[in-house]
Structure 1
Amino acid sequence: MLAITAIIRAKKGHEPAMRQALLDVVEHVRANEPSTVGYYVSQDVDSPRIFSTYERYLDQAAMDRHNNSPAVARFFEVAKPILDGEVIVVLANEIASKRE
């Protein structure tokens, strides 16, 4: 299982737009990506300008399909002008989990 954690910081005042852009990606994942095992978006409690994603993919092909999807391209069209710094991405091989 491949996992990506991304930390995304929005410029002050752009939190609602970033939140919606991320939620739009979630909708696409739910409807179109059966090989995306999990896709979670969070907003920091103390610093609402900070968002994170935790993404779980069955394999490299599933991750590539997601990253090359129109939904991800649209996200970056919206996000690039309102990003406060670089997106921090950690790509990992998942070694343990607890399923719900």
Structure 2
Amino acid sequence: MLTITAVIRAKKGHEATMRQALLDVVAHVRANEPSTVGYYVSQDAADACVFATYERYVDQAAMDRHNNSPAVARFFEVAKPILDGDVILVSASEIASK
């Protein structure tokens, strides 16, 4: 199982826009990506500007399909001007799960 963890920080005042952009990606994943095993989005309880995704893919091809999808391109069109710093990405091979 391949995973991506992303930590995304929105500029103050743009939390709702970032939240909706991420939810739009989730809707696309649910409707179009059967090879995406899980796609989780969280918003920090202490700092509403901070979001995290945890993404699980059956293989590299599934990850590539997601990352090259129109939904991800649209997300970055919306997110790029409201990002507060770089997106922190960790791509990994899952070694354990429950």
State the TM-score, normalizing by the size of structure 1.
0.98
Matches within 5 A, 1:78-89: 78-89=78-89
1:1-100 matches, within 5 Å, as 1-98=1-98
- 2: CA distance between counterparts of 1:31 and 1:84? 30
**Normalising to structure 2: TM-score of the pair?**
1.00
How many residues align? The count is 98
Work out the CA distance in 1 between the residues paired with 2:68 and 2:3. 16
Q: Quote how far apart the aligned CAs of 1:57 are.
A: 0.2
The runs of at least 4 consecutive aligned structure 1 residues that moved more than 4 Å come to none
Distance 2:92 2:69 in 1: 20
Displacement after TM superposition at 1:26 (Å): 0.0
Report % sequence identity.
83
| 1-structure distance, mates of 2:77, 2:4 | 20
Structure 1 vs Structure 2 CA RMSD: 0.2
Gaps of 5+ in 2: none
